[in-house]
Every structure is written in structure tokens, then in C-alpha cells.
Amino acid sequence: MARVGRGPNENVGEKAKDFKSAVKRLFHELGNFRKFIYVALFLAILSSILSICTPNILSNLTDVISEGLVVNKDNMETLTKKIKNNISNEKVSSIMDIKLSHNSMSELLKAPLSDEDRNIVNKMLSSTSEDEIMKLICELSYPGFSLIASESKIDDIVISVEDKYTLLSSMSDNKVIISDSVAYVLFEDVVIDGVTITPKEQAIFINKMSTLEDTSEMYSAIDSMPNNIRKVVSPKMDMDKIKNIALLLIILYVLSAIFNYIQSILMTNVSNKFAKKLRTFISKKINKLPLKYFDNTSTGDILSRVTNDVDTIAQSMNNSLATLVSATTLFVGTTIMMFVTNYILALTAIISSLFGFWFMSKILSKSQKYFVAKQEELSNLNGHIEEIYSGLNVVKAYNGKRDADIKFDVLNDKLDDANRKSQFLSGLMHPMMNFIGNFGYVAVCIVGALLTMNNYISFSVIVAFIVYVRLFVSPLSQIAQSMTNLQTTAAASERVFEFLDEEELSSEEAIKKYLDKSKVKGKIEFDNVTFKYDGNDNQTIKNFSAVAKPGEKIAIVGPTGAGKTTMVNLLMKFYEIDSGDIRIDGISTKNLTRENIHDLFIMVLQDTWVFEGTIKENIKYNQENVSDEEVTKICKIVGLDHFIKTLPNGYDSLITGSDSISAGQKQLLTIARGMLKESPFLILDEATSNVDTRTEELVQKAMDKLAENKTSFIIAHRLSTIKNADLILVMKDGNIIEQGNHKELMKLNKFYANLYNSQFKL
């Protein structure tokens, strides 16, 4: 049983013989489609460029958001600086208003002091530095300090001894605590961002900030500060800036998506139309090819070029071409942008990703043999199934089911094993890609954290590089897959263009003669015709000469390979004769078009051909202006009318592959089709070889009616069917060795008589 189409392992991973030439030819054949491809590829590049731009913009957005999550450092520093500038030694001294002399300190020793304060006073007496004396005063306890300080009044502001002691003691501990009265003496109003901060609010700010043990307490401290302080230093999102950046990101993402969508639509449209164009070319080419091409080429190979190869080209153009350009742009652009942003993180991302790809390539290289084995085992299993089911009757007749099942189980187990291993390793692809991406993320985060800690980069750069790693890893696998697909596409296009470049039948534009079938008399002459098939050393037809008179029934008989069917093919101009001539009504077939010759003949072949459609449509095939009454009349003459009426829908019954129409019924259908054509010549090529004896009688009667008033050529192995022929041509090795009617040839008692008698020996 012949296999139709490409087998499971045929052309798997096939590469073009000349990749560059195949791609160049494919590009040339695209013709007007090229401009749409240029636009699609340009849009794919734009889409990729917009994707590359987004990480840095996302980084800026991260910076703005980060700034809105922390205190306003600038305002904090401004406020702190102004407060510190106001706390001068002169102002503090004026507040304290402590005037010490040696005598006053001696008198101080007479006061009731604690032992610790007394020791401090003794140190003050022995000291000569005013700064040192002030430090010692700060170490005094409140009772001791109250003995040397008194309440004072500055600008109508009363400063108590307690306020003075609190200020002085807190300054010694580096934790400044300022009372309201002291604040109004030390500070002035401070204006920041249009907000006025009073001395009292400044005092609260400095008091709380100086008592913080940890920066983590800062936010809770700010929350408890006066409203004006919070307005100035609290975290604040710049919503206008965030909205603008977010809007820009949305626009870029939407534009990228739109460009990608448009290029996808363009490429889909181009690929589908180009595939349609190729199929149209192939369809037209089939009608222009000589019959010798089909003799040397399997049907499956031709169908494979029309379906598989054209679909491969279309799918690759739709997916791989734009993907390759887009992925390449992404890869190159991302690499450049990473180095522009930070070369250290760029090297980190690239090295970590390449390490992952190296690891993945090691695994996949070992899996290749399992993919090859899978295709081989699938081919073996399909071959076994096809072989068994094409000869199922023989298998059952010889009780070979058990052996067939055992072999099937063995092949099935091998396929299952190869499929399981290949699918397991193929399934690692996605996890490996995730691993590479995640490995790159980890590497970038670790190195980025170290750089951030040392103030080389900001946190937003790490965010940008996390996106860059994804954009860098993804294109590598896409580029590899696209290149593989392009190799397959080049091979497929080579096969398609090889078919389109096949030598065609000779042009008939110069032929002007035409035979009207209604005016043809019916005489055919063969004049020393010779013919040899391509690749054969010996001639198939050697100096064949014969004359068929109008209305005669000419039978051609002989052993297999004698050249009987070849003569018919030459007569129909399916092949060009090497020398000699064939004339119809005195006009050489060389001077008639093939279409004109085909219109003069009715052919009923051994292999009947019916298509999926109604019985009426099959009979009317390619015949215009034929009424239903004419179809019914022909079927009655042929003897087919009764059978058709037994069908559910009569002449409108649909013929499908599942319908049980016998070989004889199909043959009668083809005879009815021929009778409807009403051509002057008839060719019957083994028309009764596939039917039983009873059906043969029906077919023979139908053929006799079909042959009425026609010059007929009958090729038959059953010699009983041509006993009434007007002329029997006996062929052997391409020559006519005997000719005459049945009685004359039987009297000769030579080759024909022996051939005839051999069919009736018991």
C-alpha cells in the first residue's frame, strides 16, 4: 500500500543544501509582500526598543517612590542646621548669667553641699580655664547649681534656674533639652517651603531628635511632632512626578503591544497570502508538468510539498522571522543598556546567564539522541501498523495476529521509552530557563546590594537590572529556536522551488490548428512511432505503424510491458514521441493542442475515479449545459438507473469514501460520464479487469453502447472481451508482431492464438 504524504521521520531536522541561496530565492519570490515584511520587522524592532527603554524609566519611578517613603532629608538638614547655628556659646552664656570669682567659689564651699558637689567645687578653685570651669559647673547637681545660679530675665522672658540647669546638664550629655522660655531666647522663626516653624516647635524638634536611640525611632518621633514640623520633614510622595512617569510607562507598554500586534497581523496576513500564492503556483505547475515527472515522483512527495513544505514556510514566516529580528534587537539593545547603566552589574548578569546556558546546553546535547530515537521508533511503529492493516486479510488468514501483536508491543515499548526520555529532557527546558533567569536575579541582587552599601549605585538600579536580566535571557533561546526553524524553512522552500522549477510541457502558443469534435471523421494513423522513457536504455515503442479507420474498434493486446498503455499515452499526447508521427484525420498531433486532443477522446480506465459529491455531479463532471433528463437517459442506457433509484436520494445521493459502491458500479458511472461527453474517439484501458464475470457482462454491454459510432481503442488482458474487435494489434517488446481480427489471428495459430488459448485451459 503506497503511503501518501511525508512519513514521521522524513525531513525531520532537514537542512537546506544551500541555505544562503534558498533564503535568497525565498526572499525574491516574496515579491510585493516584501514591503509589508519590512514594515512588520520595523515595528518588531520598535516594539523591542520600547521594551528596552522601560527598565530605566522604571528605575526612575522606583527612585521617586523611594524618596516618598523616607523623611525629607533636605528639609531635615536645613532645619537642623538653622537650629544649631542659633545655639551659640554667647547665647547660652547670656542665658546662664553665671559670674564666678575665686571668693564666690570659696563662699560656695561653706554652703551645705554633697560630697560630690564639694569635690567639683574644689576642682573649680584649682582651675584657671573658663571652659573647664563651665564643664565642671555642668557636672554639679541641681542643689549645687542652684547655689551659684539665679533666675534671670531676658527681653521680658523669665528663665528659671531649673530651665538653666536642664539646658546645661543636657548639653553635657549631648542630648539637648530646651524649655519653651529658653527656646524663645535662643531661636527665631524659621521658614521652610513656606511653612513657619516657631521657636517652641524648634525646641520640640531638637528635644525629640536628640533623645533618639535608633534611626528606626525617627518616624514615630516625627509623627508626634507639631504639625508644621511634620509638613516640612514627613515622607511625601511626589504624585505629579509619579503620575507622569507611570503615564510614560503605560504609553511605552501600550505602543510596544500595538506595534507587536500590528506586526503579528501583517506577518500572519503575508504568510497566509504567500502560502496561498505558492499553492496556486504548485496547482498550476502540476497541470504543466509532463507525465514522466509523475512516473518518477511519488504522490506522497508531491503532496508533502503542497501541504507540509508550504505550511512550514508560512509558519516560519509568521513566527520565526519577526521573532528572530525582535529577539536580536532585544539582546543587543539590552546588552548595550546594561553596560550604559552599570558595567559591573552588566558583567554579573551576562556571566551568570551564560553559565546557566552552558549548563543547559550540556544537558540538551545529551538529550539529542533520544529525540532522534523517538522519530526512528515512531517511524518503525507507523510502518508496522501500515503494513499490518494494509494486509489485514492475509494476517487473519494465516493466523498471524499473535506475531503481529508481539512485534507491535516491542515497537510500542521502544517508542514509549524513547518518548519518555525525550519528553523528560525536553520538559527540563522551561525549568532550566527559569533557573537561568533566577540565577541571574540572585547574582544581580547580591552584587547590587554590595554596590548599594558602598554608595556606588541606588536601589533603583538593581530593580532595572532585574528587568534587564529577563530581557537578556529570553532572546537567546528565541534566537536559537528561530535559526533552527529558518534552517527547516530553507529546506522546505528549496523543495517547493525545486518543484516549481521542474521542466514543463512544451509551449503550444504557436499552435493554431483546431479540430472540432463534431466534424471529426475518426481516422487515426500511427506512422513509424518510436518512444523511450527517460532513464531507459531500450526503446519502449519501436517503429509502430497502424491505421484506425473511422468507427473501427481497435484492440491492443500483448504481455505486460509490451507498450500497450504507452501507445495510448502517446496518442493522448501525455508524452511527446521521439520520432514518427500520429495523425488524426490527416492532421499531426504535433499541430494540435493537448486540450484539443483530450477533448476528442473519452477514456475509461482500469482504476475508476469518482470524487466526493453527488452521483449526478460525478456523471456531469466538467460538462456544461447538461440537463438532468440527459443524465437519466444515459444511465438507463448503461443500466445504472435502477441501482441509483435504490439509493436514498437517487441521483442526488452523496458519494463518500465510506459508501459501499462496488467496482462495477463505479465503472458504470465512468462509462455514463464518457457517454455524456460525446467525443468521436474512445479509449478503454483494462476497463473490466477489476470486476466479476456477471458485472463484466453489464460493463461490456455498456461499453458496446458507448463505442457506437466511435473509433475505439481497447486495451485488454481478457481476450474474450475483444473477440468482436474490427482490428486486433498484438504487441510485443514495442512492436506489432501480429494484426487482424479474432478469426484471422486464431487461424494463424501463433502468438495471439497461444495467448488466447492459455486463458481457457483447465
What are the boundaries of each domain within the chain?
69-233, 524-758
Q: What is the DSSP letter of 408?
A: H
C-alpha grid cell for residue 154?
A: 531676658
For the stretch 740-760, pLDDT in tens is 888 888 898 888 888 888 876
Closest by CA to 726, choosing from 477, 535, 522, 421, is 522
Q: Say yes or no to pLDDT of 11 above 60.
A: no
Q: How far is CA 695 from CA 285, 637, 638, 666, in A?
A: 39, 15, 12, 11
The DSSP call for residue 18 is S
Strands 541-548 and 553-557: unpaired
For the domain bounded by 524-758, which CATH number is listed? 3.40.50.300
Q: Do 580 and 529 touch, CB atoms closer than 8 A?
A: yes
Is the model's pLDDT at 510 over the cut of 80?
Answer: yes
Helix and strand tally (H, E) in the chain? 32, 16
**Residue 736: pLDDT band by 50, 70, 90 thresholds?**
confident
Alpha helices in 173-309 (DSSP H): 180-186, 199-210, 218-223, 227-233, 239-288, 291-296, 299-304
Least confident window among 194-203, 583-592, 688-697: 688-697
Sign of CA dihedral 617, 621, 625, 628: negative
Q: For residue 187, count CB atoms less than 10 angstroms from its CB and return exposed for 0-12, middle for 13-18, buried for 19 or more.
A: buried
Average pLDDT rounded to a whole number, residues 36-57: 84
pLDDT at residue 12, as a whole number: 39
CB-based contacts of 263-267 (< 8 A; 24+ apart in sequence): 263/39, 263/40, 263/41, 263/43, 263/44, 263/47, 263/322, 264/322, 266/36, 266/37, 266/39, 266/40, 266/43, 267/37, 267/40, 267/317, 267/318, 267/321, 267/322
C-alpha cell at 467: 528587568
Contact at 8 Å (CB) between 289 and 504?
Answer: yes
Do 550 and 541 meet the contact criterion of CB atoms below 8 Å apart?
no
Name the residue with cell 452523496. 654
- pLDDT of amino acid 258: 92
What is the average per-residue pLDDT within 64-87?
A: 75
Does pLDDT of 678 surpass 70? yes
Burial tier of 43 (Cβ tally within 10 Å: 0-12, 13-18, 19+)? buried
Nearest to 716 by CA among 601, 573, 532, 554: 554
CA–chain centroid gap for 162, Å, is 84
**CA atoms within 13 A of residue 341's CA, in its CB half-sphere:** 34
C-alpha span between 76 and 215 (Å, rounded):
13
Between 516-520, 623-627, 717-721, the lowest mean confidence (pLDDT) is in 717-721
Rounded mean pLDDT, 98-123: 72
For residue 761, name the pLDDT band (cuts at 50, 70, 90). low
Distant-in-sequence, close-in-space partners of 609: CB < 8 Å, separation ≥ 6: 670
Position 93 confidence tier, pLDDT thresholds 50, 70, 90:
low
Give the residue ranges of DSSP H helices in 605-741: 615-619, 628-638, 641-645, 663-677, 693-706
Neighbours of 670 (CB within 10 A): 25
Report the alpha-carbon distance of residue 335 to residue 333 in Å, rounded: 5
**Predicted pLDDT of residue 4:** 36
The confidence score (pLDDT) of residue 762 equals 43
Beta strand 579-584 pairing with 587-588: antiparallel
Backbone angles phi, psi at 653, to 5 degrees: -70, 140
CA 581 to chain CA mean position, Å: 56
* pLDDT, mean over the chain: 78
Q: Lowest-confidence range among 15-29, 407-421, 632-646, 692-706?
A: 692-706
Instruction: Flag whether pLDDT at 99 surpasses 70.
Output: no
pTM assigned to the model: 0.64
SS3 state at 155: coil
What confidence tens digit (pLDDT) does each residue in 302-346 have?
A: 777 777 788 878 887 787 777 878 888 888 888 888 888 888 888
Q: How far apart are CA 305 and CA 284, in angstroms?
A: 14
Region 360-372: mean pLDDT is 64
Q: How confident is the model at residue 372 (pLDDT cuts 50, 70, 90)?
A: low
Distance in angstroms (rounded) separating the CA atoms of residues 306 and 4: 12
Phi/psi class of residue 160: alpha, beta or left (left: φ > 0; alpha: ψ in -120 to 50)?
A: beta
* pLDDT of residue 74 exceeding 50: yes
Pairing assessment for the beta strands 152-154 and 157-159 based on DSSP bridges: antiparallel
Asked if residue 137 lies in contact with residue 145, where contact means CB atoms within 8 angstroms, the answer is: yes
Question: What's the CA gap between 750 and 361, in Å, rounded?
Answer: 76
What's the grid cell of residue 38? 519590512
Between β-strands 613-614 and 524-531, what pairing exists: parallel, antiparallel or unpaired?
unpaired
Judge whether 478 and 288 are in contact, CB under 8 Å. Answer: no
Q: How far is residue 758's CA from residue 752's CA, in Å, rounded to a whole number?
A: 10
Look at strands 727-732 and 553-557 and give their pairing: parallel
Ordered alpha helix ranges (H), 140-238: 142-148, 161-172, 180-186, 199-210, 218-223, 227-233
Percent of the chain whose predicted confidence (pLDDT) is above 90: 1
Phi and psi torsions of 717, nearest 5°? -90, -30
Please write down the long-range contacts of 26-33, taking CB distance under 8 Å and 24 or more positions apart: 26/313, 26/489, 26/490, 26/493, 26/497, 29/497, 30/270, 30/274, 33/270, 33/273, 33/274
Q: Would you give the DSSP letter of residue 311?
A: H
For a pLDDT cut of 70, what percent of the chain falls above it? 84
What's the rounded Cα separation, in Å, for the pair 215 and 233?
Answer: 14
φ, ψ of residue 569 to 5 degrees: the values are -65, -35
